[in-house]
Amino acid sequence: MGGGPAGAVLAGRLARAGLGVVVLERSPAWRWRAGGVFSSPATMAALRRAGVDPTALAAVARPIAAMRVETPSGSTFRLTYGADRGGEPAIGFDRSALDPALLRLAETAGADVRRAWTVTGVELDVVPTVMHARGPDGAETVLAADVVVGADGLRSIVARSAGVARATFLGERVGLTYHLADDTDRPCPDARMRILRDGYVGVAPVPGGRVNVGIVLGRSWRGRLARQGAGGVAREIVGGIPPAPDDSAAWRDGTPLDQIAGASPLGHRVTRRAGERWLLVGDAAGFLDPFTGEGLHRALVSADLAAAAILTARRGREGSFAAYDRAMRRRFLSKDAVSWLVQAFLARPALFEYAARRIEARPEVRATMGLVMGDLLPASRALDPRYLAALLAP
C-alpha cells in the first residue's frame, strides 16, 4: 500500500524473488508532496543495491559538498559526511525523476502496479487479510492478501488499523516544501540549514537548475501562517536568507516551480512495525525529525529488512515479522535518540548556539557528527559520554 520509494523498492525485491505483488498507489501520476531531497552517500549505496542503473542514478542526483548549518547569531559549521576525507559527497535528489523510476523498476520486475487506487480500509484480523479499495473508475473492490505492507506514509491506514499509530512528543509543527529555479551553475555547492526562532529552513540544490526549499515551523508561527498563508510566510523566510561566500543566493528570486506542499502534524510514531500478517515500511514505520534528515535512507533500509522478513516467512520460518520489528528498532534506536537530542537543543536556542560554536571550532567533533547524521557511523557514537564531553566541554 503506497508506491513511494519504500513501497516501490520492496515490491521490486519481492517480485524478482518470484512472489505475486500488487502495489496500490493513490496518485494517478507523480506529484510533488512534502518530502526530503537531501541525503548522504549511504542512500546512493542503498539505491545501487536496489538495482537502479548507475547512469539513471547519476541523472537524478546532484552532488552536494556539505550541509552548512547557520545559527541566528552567526555561528556556522559544515557537515561533509566524510567527503573531505575521501568519501562520496552528499546528494540532492530529483524526486520527480527518482520516485517514478523506482516504481517503474518494480513494474519491470513483475509487480502489478495500480495507480489511482485509494485504500479505504484494511482488515488485519482475518485470514487472508482484506483490503477495501476504490479504483480509478470509483468502483469499490475487495482484495485479499497473505501479507499487507503499509508504505502509506505519516497517516498510514495500516498503522491505524493495527492500532499502533501514536503522536510524537515534539508538539505542533508544520512542514512546507517547494522548488525554486536556480540558473547559477555551481559545481557541488553546499546545502544550507538556517536556524529560525521556533523553526528552521533548509535549501538544497537538485538536478535541473533548481533548489529545494524545506521549512519546519513550530506552534508560534500558527498566527502568521493564518494571516499570510504558506506562500507569504515562505517568501518572507526565504527572502531573509543572506548570501554566503560560495552562494550569491540569487535563487531567492527564482520562479516557484510547484505549489507549496505542506505536512502537519510533522511526525509519526508507532508502537510496533509488524504483526502476524502485516508490516510497516518507510515513513509509515515512524518518522521523527526532518532536521537530521535521512528519511529516504531509512525508507530503503526498511524495504531491505522487510523483503528479507517476508521471504524467510514464505520459507516457513516462524517469527520473521517479529524479527523485522526488532531489527528496525535496533537499527534506528540510537539514531532516534540523537534526533531527540538535537530537538532538545533546538528548543533551547542558547544551548544550540553554544553547541554550534563548539562544533564549528572542533574538527573531529564535527566530522563525527556528519558521519552519524549521514548514517555512515553508528549513531551510538554521538551518544558516547566521551563524545558528548568533547562536544560540550568549554
Q: Model confidence over 325-373: pLDDT tens digits?
A: 999 999 998 988 888 888 889 889 999 999 999 999 999 999 999 999 8
Between 5 and 36, residue with greater pLDDT: 5
Which fold would CATH assign to domain 173-263? Alpha-Beta Plaits (3.30.70)
**pLDDT band at residue 4, thresholds of 50, 70 and 90?**
very high
Average pLDDT over residues 183-187: 76
Mean pLDDT over 21-27 rounds to 96
Beta bridge partners of 191: 67
Domain range summary for the chain, segments of one domain joined by +: 5-67+86-169+266-342, 173-263, 349-392
Grid cell at residue 231: 506562500
Secondary element (H or E) of residue 204: strand 199-206
**Nearest of 182, 127, 123, 149 to residue 4 by alpha carbon:** 149
Integer CA distances (angstroms), 220 to 73, 195, 223, 348, 361, in order? 20, 15, 7, 14, 32
Q: How far apart are CA 252 and CA 256, in angstroms?
A: 10
Check: CB of residue 268 under 8 Å from CB of residue 34: no
Mean pLDDT value of segment 128-132: 93
User: Of 264, 265, 274, 198, which Cα lies nearest the Cα of 237?
Assistant: 198
- Encode pLDDT of 280-303 as tens digits: 999 999 876 667 667 899 999 999
pLDDT of 132 strictly over 90: yes
> Helix 349-361 to helix 385-392 angle, to the nearest 10 degrees?
90
For residue range 54-79, what is the model confidence (pLDDT) as tens digits? 898 999 999 999 999 999 999 999 99
Q: What is the pLDDT of residues 245-293, one digit of tens each?
A: 888 899 999 999 988 988 777 777 899 999 999 999 999 998 766 676 6
User: Could you report the per-residue pLDDT of 88-98, keeping only the tens digit for each?
Assistant: 999 999 999 99
Class of domain 5-67+86-169+266-342: alpha beta
Pairing between β-strand 118-123 and β-strand 129-134 as defined by DSSP bridges: antiparallel
Quick one: pLDDT band at residue 183, thresholds 50, 70, 90?
confident
pTM: 0.92
Question: Which pLDDT score, from 0 to 100, does residue 293 have?
Answer: 65
On the question of pLDDT at 40 being above 80, the answer is: yes
Rg (CA), the chain: 21
Q: Which three cell numbers stand for residue 177?
A: 516544501
- 170 contacts 19 by C-beta, under 8 angstroms: no
- The per-residue pLDDT of the chain, averaged, comes to 91
Amino acid 387 reads Y
Cα dihedral 125→130→133→139 (10° resolution): -130
Only one residue has cell 501479507, namely 147
Cβ-based neighbours of 227, under 8 Å, separated by 6 or more? none
Q: What are the residue ranges of helices labelled H in the chain?
A: 5-16, 41-49, 54-59, 95-109, 157-162, 222-239, 295-314, 320-346, 349-361, 363-373, 380-383, 385-392
